[in-house]
Amino acid sequence: MKALVTSISIWLMVAAGQAGISLQDQLNEAHEQFVSDVQERNLAARFKVFEAPPKAREIAEEAQEWQDNEHPWRRGITADIFYIGQKPFRGKGKDYSKSAWDPNWQENYGGVDHPVFRKGYAPRDFIPKSNPFYIALPYNDLLANGARCPYAAEAVPWFWKVQHTEGKSVCQNRWVALHYRGKVCYAQWQDVGPYAEDDWAYVFKARYPALRLASSPAAIQVSPAVRDYLGMQKNSRISWKFIEEYEVIKGPWLDWKLPGM
């Protein structure tokens, strides 16, 4: 700044000497011009607040899939039947006394959800402690060590709409609607299966299931209660989609309650 003032002073001295004008007169004139410029800028700024803001530009963008209120149907999906407490058959298959998100699934449910010995839509020998209308889909947002899957935030449409708890799935308990031959049933997502745990494109984007390495054509598993309500059989082809909780219509999937309540 000092260098700038010195340069200006030298220039003014030279100019003054050439024009026969005193240095003091030159400095006074420069100061008056500077003050005048500042006053003009301040005055313009005061009136600028009364000006209309610039017109907003309209940008046409398509809504992201996670922003859509409607979830698409997955149609013609082969369904398998499974149940809490189911044991591997001849050493093959999964032990369903635990789920991907509950190591004590059978105990917390109250017992084995036997597919034959039934009382209405519940097991015959006990009152279940949780909803007997449940399903399994081939995606898990948790890794084997309980940490969150790195791409879960991008894969799961409602990831940023729900509370996050360490070691707790954001998929568990999510409601789905299932359609079969004119009937609609509602159930909650409670396990991962039947053929994989990372087919997010099918589960969330409604792409065709990645069944190339699967030993069964099933791409969803449903509980005995879902089976009985819809009147379906093993390997029936159904349609399903995610729904919001407020969209669940009153029915037996909402009628269950804990013993003593």
Return per-residue pLDDT of the chain as tens, 261 residues: 545 445 555 555 555 555 566 767 766 777 777 767 767 776 666 655 555 555 555 544 444 444 445 689 999 999 999 999 999 987 778 999 999 999 999 999 999 999 999 999 999 999 999 999 999 999 999 999 999 999 999 999 999 999 889 999 999 999 999 999 999 999 999 999 999 999 999 999 999 999 876 678 999 999 999 999 999 999 999 999 999 999 999 999 998 765 544
pTM higher than the cut 0.85: no
Q: What are all long-range contacts of 22-25, with beta carbons under 8 Å and residues at least 24 apart?
A: none
pLDDT of residue 29: 77
What tokens appear for 243 in the block? 């729904």
Closest CA to 228 of 87, 116, 105, 106: 116
Question: Is CATH 2.40.40.10 the classification given to domain 71-254?
Answer: yes
Which run of H or E residues covers position 186? strand 183-192
How is residue 14 annotated by DSSP?
H
d(CA 176, CA 186): 6
pLDDT of residue 258: 53
pLDDT of residue 4: 47
pLDDT of residue 255: 85
Neighbours of 160 (CB within 10 A): 10
